[in-house]
Amino acid sequence: MKDFILKNQFWGMMILGVGVAVWTLCCWSKMGPTQHIAALFFIAITLHCVEEMKLPGGFVDMVVKFVGFPIMDMRFPKLLLSLLVIYMAFVPLFFPHVAWMGAAPLYLGVVEVVAHLLAAARMNSRKVFYSPGMVTALVIMLPLTIWGFYTVISQHLLSGLDWLWAFLYLFIPLIITQRFVVKMSGMPYREFVGNAVKTLFGKKNV
């Protein structure tokens, strides 16, 4: 059972994404604004995962290579990533009255755009300004993020403290998951962070 889940977790994510897309299409008028945001982000992230991992794929392998991450089997970390995505943008669909939960994925939209324009572009050794996931990050997630922030701000859905809760809801589990995966690999977390900083701000490999 464990091997089956690890082997097919990507397709499970795709099925869930299609289900959310159908539900959103059928129930749009009955959903609240932050449900709209969370649902559209879940669909967008699903498409983003397709580009990063399958068509053309290779983003995770690129990051592992340039950060010097000593882990051979990436199936479990990818499963944790899928669960993290479900937590970020699927769980809020069941809490329409907790606005900050639905707005939390907006921070992820910002992170993805920055990552692919700056970090991934620096890690790419090819002479092209592209990294797997960049198209969906810029064409889908960026406009969705701008629209989401506009919706939340123009409709006064979040207070000042709500923005903090949304930030913590997204980033605390993200950091915990990252530390867990790094510890599982045997690499000291400080070394992992140091390698990441060198990759981002050091001399670019050619």
* pLDDT tens-place string over residues 86-116: 999 999 999 999 999 999 999 999 999 888 8
- Would residue 86 count as lying in a domain? yes
Each residue's pLDDT tens digit, 162-186: 999 999 999 999 999 988 888 877 8
More reliable by pLDDT, 174 or 126: 174
Total domains present in the chain: 1
End-to-end CA distance of the chain: 43
More reliable by pLDDT, 166 or 125: 166
- pLDDT, mean of residues 113-134: 74
Q: Evaluate if residue 22 carries a pLDDT over 50.
A: yes
pTM of the model: 0.88
The sign of the torsion formed by the CA atoms of 154, 159, 163, 168 equals negative
Residue with tokens 């606005």: 99
- Would residue 203 count as lying in a domain? no
- Would residue 205 count as lying in a domain? no
Range of the domain at 32: 2-198
